[in-house]
Amino acid sequence: MIAKHIDRFPLLKLDQVIDWQPIEQYLNRQRTRYLRDHRGRPAYPLLSMFKAVLLGQWHSLSDPELEHSLITRIDFNLFCRFDELSIPDYSTLCRYRNWLAQDNTLSELLELINRQLTEKGLKIEKASAAVIDATIIQTAGSKQRQAIEVDEEGQVRGQTTPSKDSDARWIKKNGLYKLGYKQHTRTDAEGYIEKLHITPANAHECKHLSPLLEGLPKGTTVYADKGYDSAENRQHLKEHQLLDGIMRKAHRKHPLSEAQTKRNRYLSKTRYVVEQSFGTLHRKFRYARTAYFGLSKVSAQSHLKAMCLNLLKAANRLSAPVVA
């Protein structure tokens, strides 16, 4: 019966296309570490656990809500393939998600998922462009009432109310003060997220370009806004034989030339894909605010949300499967 309505379930549609075996093999190679961290034999298949955590982020569910959905929703169980008599409880799901947050596990899983999408023709294999940008994600503790001190330039100097999230920092954005993190992101020319890392919100983008460029083939054009404009970044591009698509920034007593202004206008038209991806993260996946405290857990959630975004984009490219 659910096959007639499969277009309503993007992940089930993708589940018929994606070969999960390489991802399962990767997770099983991590099994020794999982056993060391969670004494005893794992009661649930690690791939099923990963897919469950992914579903939780797709639907922005709390761990108890995810447990309930695994019990009550057919589409959840079809995707995860748990034994119907053996569903993990919310505390097990929470521990597994925190285990995934260790080391580079989730960044490697993001890369594996992207590789699958490429092999299935749902993502371009060798993009000629990389688009760089950053977005603010407010901390889960930012609903807490805060009293902050600002200097004469309006920058946050301190706060008199301790935050529940000690890793989060303040930033002034569009006239508003926000407490949280900054997600530095690289997408391809279609808006698929390829790499990201998280810093406190007050970190300047200019100093966080080079980690996003790792793995780019020579000759790739790197598009970025003027926040990334610096002599060091331009030199880094040159040394790694990457093409410079960074918008230029005007400086005091050194306004932009007419040619630089035209160049900026042209480059700005190519950057819409990353802004669209951020919009989807914020609206569809409700990721304007993180659900957790701490840099490590926020980084984990960002990587899981990035996987959701890429899988959604891929699902939208699939035609409805023929039902036998």
Specify the CATH number for the domain of residue 250: 3.30.420.10
Q: What is the pLDDT of residues 148-175, one digit of tens each?
A: 555 544 456 665 555 789 899 988 888 8
For residues 203-224, average pLDDT: 95
Q: Which of 118-122, 133-137, 318-322 has the highest mean pLDDT?
A: 133-137
The answer to whether residue 322 sits within a structural domain is no
The answer to whether residue 324 sits within a structural domain is no
Instruction: Indicate if 231 and 275 belong to the same structural domain.
Output: yes
The answer to whether residue 109 sits within a structural domain is no
Predicted local confidence at residue 146, as pLDDT: 57
* CA end-to-end distance (rounded Å), the chain: 12
The CB-side HSE value for 236 (13 A sphere, CA atoms) comes to: 19
How far apart CA 296 and CA 315 sit, in angstroms, is: 29
**Confidence band (pLDDT; 50, 70, 90) for 97?**
very high
Encoded tokens for 3? 């096959």
Whole-prediction pTM: 0.90
For residues 123-133, average pLDDT: 87
Check the CA dihedral 311-316-317-318 and report its sign: positive
Cα dist from 255 to 199, 204, 249, 259, whole Å: 31, 22, 8, 11
Decide which of 49, 70, 100 is a domain's last residue. Answer: 100
Q: Which residue has better confidence, 9 or 262?
A: 262
Q: Which residue has tokens 């919009």? A: 279
Instruction: Indicate if 194 and 293 belong to the same structural domain.
Output: yes
The answer to whether residue 110 sits within a structural domain is no
Instruction: Indicate if 172 and 72 belong to the same structural domain.
Output: no
Instruction: Indicate if 57 and 133 belong to the same structural domain.
Output: no
Contact (Cβ atoms closer than 8 angstroms) between residue 183 and residue 302: yes
Residue closest to 139 by CA, chosen among 178, 106, 177, 100? 178
Around Cβ 219, how many Cβ atoms within 10 Å? 10
For 273, the domain range is: 115-317
Instruction: Indicate if 184 and 230 belong to the same structural domain.
Output: yes
Instruction: Indicate if 237 and 281 belong to the same structural domain.
Output: yes
Instruction: Indicate if 191 and 304 belong to the same structural domain.
Output: yes
The answer to whether residue 33 sits within a structural domain is yes
For residues 298-310, average pLDDT: 98
Instruction: Indicate if 91 and 173 belong to the same structural domain.
Output: no
Residue 23 has pLDDT above 60, yes or no: yes
The answer to whether residue 75 sits within a structural domain is yes
Decide which of 47, 68, 100 is a domain's last residue. Answer: 100
- Min mean pLDDT across 1-10, 162-171, 280-289 is at 1-10
Instruction: Indicate if 135 and 93 belong to the same structural domain.
Output: no
Instruction: Indicate if 279 and 247 belong to the same structural domain.
Output: yes
Instruction: Indicate if 127 and 74 belong to the same structural domain.
Output: no
- Min mean pLDDT across 53-67, 97-111, 154-168 is at 154-168
Q: How many domains does the chain have?
A: 2
Percent pLDDT > 70 in the chain is 86
Decide which of 46, 68, 100 is a domain's last residue. Answer: 100
For residues 6-25, average pLDDT: 87
Mean pLDDT of the residues in the chain: 88
For residues 21-33, average pLDDT: 87
Residue 318 has pLDDT above 90, yes or no: no
Q: Which residue has better confidence, 161 or 228?
A: 228
